[in-house]
Structure 1
Amino acid sequence: MAFVADGSLGLLPAQDQYGVWIEPAWISDAAALPAKAREVLAAYAAAAAREPPAMRSAAVQALTDSQGVLDDNCREQLLIIAQLGAIGSGDLAGVAQIKEQFGEQVPVSQYRYAIRGFLLAWADQDASVL
């Protein structure tokens, strides 16, 4: 699921995410899924809809107690979704808080190391220049 999200969440506009991540048509009974899978899907739906507060809260919920349950690719996506949600909500300090809470548990991939560094640098900028 995380690999499909890699190629669609950030690339498709929100209106094209319906049936994919927003109200996914490919899942017949979401209630039957394990709780952690539903949490990941909620984070993906929030990211697809470009809803920063929901992105942060859903991704943090999915990251909580995810070590050994979700693969590292998915966990890294969730970390980035949570941090983007903090930025989109205007909470730049929240980016570092999310990193402190989850960042050390989530290995940095070759694919996303630059993104993770960029988000921290963005959040560290002087708020007076915004």
Structure 2
Amino acid sequence: MQLYTDAATEPNTEHSAAGILIIDNGQQHQLKQSLPTCDNHTAEFLAAIAGFKQLLDQYGPAHTIFFFTDSKIVAESVSKGYSKSFNVELHTLLHLQDQFQIVVTQWLPESQNHGAHQLAQQGLHLTD
């Protein structure tokens, strides 16, 4: 199962939204949702958290998850198991990931995360 997440944030207002793309057996499930007002880095963590909550709610924990994010800070924090500035968000994310059999986290360039990016942009416009 593949999970792609992205966040979009309006810099002036800090309105934020998440884009979540789940691919299960070749079938795409596209989700977008508003996030609390926050900076973009926090929004990236919250988008990942929302994605893993969605996986647990819809599919349960008995899966291997390939998690893709274009946020270097999310990918590096997960890899290290540490974040000075986003410790609470990282702890929440790691707790969710620990419930699955295996989670492989991979950073990818923004240009390869179009699906989740477009969903986040659409979600952002819903908050206006």
TM range, smaller chain: 0.3 to 0.5
Which structure has the larger Rg? 1
More helix per residue: 1
TM-score (norm 2): 0.38
More strand per residue: 2
